[in-house]
Amino acid sequence: MRISRIIVAVAALIVMLMCVPLGTVAASGAHFTLTDVAAGADGSITVGGQKWFRAASFDDDKDYIITVKDGGEKALTVADDEQSSCIWHYYRQTMVASTTPRFTSLKSGSYYLVFSGDKLRTAYTRAVSGDLVWEHVGSALRYNEAGTYSYLRYDAGSDEPLSVTAELSEAAEVNIYTNGEQLERCIVSQPHAESCVIEGSGYPAPVFTVGLADVDVDSISWYVDGEEQDCDSLSFTAETLTGRSAGVHRVSCLVEAHDGSGIRYRERSEDAVFVIAKGVVPDSVITFSDVHEEYTRIGDAIACVIERTGGYIPSLVICTGDFVNGPKADADAMLGRYYPRIVAELGGLDAVFVSGNHDSGEAASAMSAAADLGAGENPPAGGLIFSGKSAENGTNSRFAKGVIVYGLNQEAAMVDKDGSAAYTYENVLGDIESFLSKTAADYHGELVIISAHTGLHTLGVQPDSVNKNGARLTDWIGENAYNIDRSYELAALINRYAEQYGMDIMYLFGHDHSRAESELIMTDGDELISTESYADMTTGRQPLRFTYAHSGYLSTVIGSADSSFSFIYRDGGGFAYDLIRTYDSRTRHTDIAARYVPAETAAATSAVTTSAATTTAAVTSAKTENPRTGDDTGTWLIVLPAVLLLVSRRRKK
């Protein structure tokens, strides 16, 4: 079933990438007309025995009826010699490259609605390099073709009453209607948990609040793990979530409303993840890339870690780019629409962010700064996004004193060459060296993570670069977005600091899933093949002195992406790297030896064997401010030693 879905998706993607999808050539008798619709007292219209309600804007993958005011309302209809239809399906192209022009369509049966010159047409007849976007703006139906706006015009007295105009003042008064479980959106602030809580701490019932636009509320229903609750207000106190054992729970609400202009709203909120934990795994992170709007998988990843550790959460979450689909989202869209959906899935856990090619670097830097975990303000290219030494304002991240994270946003690797985007690390080398130099000057064995959306290996040449069936990729995948110019220099720079200062460094990346590459994990001594010059197609080889790995592809919709994430933690004298798949917990475990050896350890002449009594004593309780949802009282937050985590992992094996 999954394979067939992928085949269908790939076939659809090929069609989409041909600038615009070609509609069926219009039959000789195809034309546009208007059909009377039955209006109800509640402002709805009835078509085909179904009620349709007024909306303000188009939403992806939904059906609409478009009406023109003419005394009453008449539905825009396309008809040929055999049939007619006034139901239009709105579609927004999403599974495309980040540089692809925006594209939406309105389709009814075999026909597309297209404006061309002053005519309405039923099929695309040519390719356009710019945007092709339908919008309902105010009371007008607008078509944006490569930056040129056109509007639907209606002239009741004309032989051809429907036409096209470039003047907004001449546009027809248009309403749009939709039906289904979701009508128009009205939620402007998603419910979310302020923090995780500790099992058995006597935490108060968590409170979840939804923020709405200026609407009149008809009804609100709240749900906990799918069960409807007895609450009909904007704020919900979830008494049923107190006293439960460690785990992940989901809270959501369904809102129905209307406004004074007759628009009907019905929207289900994002799930607000609520995390109950026994404690925090010290110096641990979960990291993933390429969520691509499958945000519920973030909560699934957290649930996997809790189940795997017997109730404990990671110290930090690192989200590494491509949070959205389609053409690159700007900062306003990222911060306004998508960031709240991500926060809802984090369940109050501390997180930092790195942008991918579909995201705004400005937004990613702002999201990391808002976490207030010692990063400060960064430019769109990125920078230091987490310092365990200064993360005093976090909850779980206070237990990541031995972790430092540098976020390399996608913008850092992009330059403009002859009017088009090219990818090179030429502007990255100085910033990375400055970061590594400052870190080395006060280094005491911290795990240094360089979190980047793009990688360092040459895709198609690296022997480990295979698809998930074990087949080698085509030699030299010739796209600069993957085989990034001067990757060899950046890898050599990181190697030098790892060797000279004995630093434990991990370079974690995503992005390559769109070339069907399986997740690869390379450690100290493995040979890395990187691009020296993209223009000359030259590569260089060097043994690694750091860990180089995919952070995991949390989505399932492109290439080899298989809902996987990485869980990294200290394990004895080294580190463990677990690549975990969310839906069945399948794990690829890798042991990584630590390079850093403390001076006192190096001076010791004999190994110290930890007794069972010492191990038990190591499970210490630290008086901390309660990671809470309501009260200010302290609680005992248990920090789980990595040795116990290792026992848990082996028991599961």
Domain limits at 199? 187-268
Q: 200, 235, 268 — which closes off a domain?
A: 268
Q: Is the pLDDT of residue 605 over 80?
A: no
Q: Which residues contact 197 (CB under 8 A, 6 or more apart)?
A: 203, 206, 274, 275, 276, 277, 626, 627, 628, 629
Question: Residue 556 sits in a domain of what CATH number?
Answer: 3.60.21.10
Q: Which residues contact 198 (CB under 8 A, 6 or more apart)?
A: 276, 277, 278, 279, 626, 627, 635, 636, 637, 638
- Specify if 606 maps to a domain: no
In this predicted model, what pLDDT tens digit does every residue of 209-235 receive, in sequence order?
999 999 999 999 999 999 999 999 999
In this predicted model, what pLDDT tens digit does every residue of 64-111 receive, in sequence order?
999 999 888 999 999 988 889 999 999 998 888 888 899 999 999 989
- Specify if 602 maps to a domain: no
- Specify if 112 maps to a domain: yes
150 lies in the same domain as 200 = no
In this predicted model, what pLDDT tens digit does every residue of 392-441 receive, in sequence order?
778 999 999 999 999 999 999 988 877 778 899 999 999 999 999 999 99
Confidence of residue 635 (pLDDT cuts 50, 70, 90): very low
Q: Which residues contact 462 (CB under 8 A, 6 or more apart)?
A: 520, 528, 529
pLDDT of residue 625: 42
- Residue pair 494/544 in contact (Cβ under 8 Å)? The answer is no
255 lies in the same domain as 355 = no
Full DSSP string of 488-540: HHHHHHHHHHHHHHT-EEEEEE--GGGGTPPP-EE-TTPEEEEEEETTTTEEE
Three-state DSSP class for 107? strand
CA distance 390 to 405: 12
450 lies in the same domain as 334 = yes
- Specify if 295 maps to a domain: yes
472 lies in the same domain as 539 = yes
- Specify if 152 maps to a domain: yes
CA distance 227 to 254: 12
Number of compact structural domains in the chain: 4
172 lies in the same domain as 194 = no
- Specify if 545 maps to a domain: yes
- Residue pair 235/208 in contact (Cβ under 8 Å)? The answer is yes
- Specify if 98 maps to a domain: yes
pLDDT of residue 599: 65
Q: 147, 178, 209 — which closes off a domain?
A: 178
Average pLDDT rounded to a whole number, residues 477-505: 94
Q: What is the 3-state secondary structure (H, E, C) of 22-62?
A: CCCCCCCCCEEEEEECEECCCCCEEECCEEEEEECCCCCCE
285 lies in the same domain as 260 = no
Q: Tokens standing for 8?
A: 């269908």
- Specify if 111 maps to a domain: yes
In this predicted model, what pLDDT tens digit does every residue of 509-527 receive, in sequence order?
998 876 767 788 999 999 9
Mean pLDDT score of the chain = 86
Closest CA to 50 of 87, 103, 13, 94: 87
The residue type of 344 is A
Q: Is the pLDDT of residue 652 over 50?
A: no
Question: Residue 162 sits in a domain of what CATH number?
Answer: 2.80.10
Give 476's DSSP letter.
Answer: S
421 lies in the same domain as 469 = yes
CA distance 554 to 493: 29
34 lies in the same domain as 150 = yes
Three-state DSSP class for 403? strand
307 lies in the same domain as 453 = yes
Q: Tokens standing for 77?
A: 């209809």
pTM for the full model? Answer: 0.88
Q: 235, 268, 301 — which closes off a domain?
A: 268
513 lies in the same domain as 485 = yes
325 lies in the same domain as 237 = no
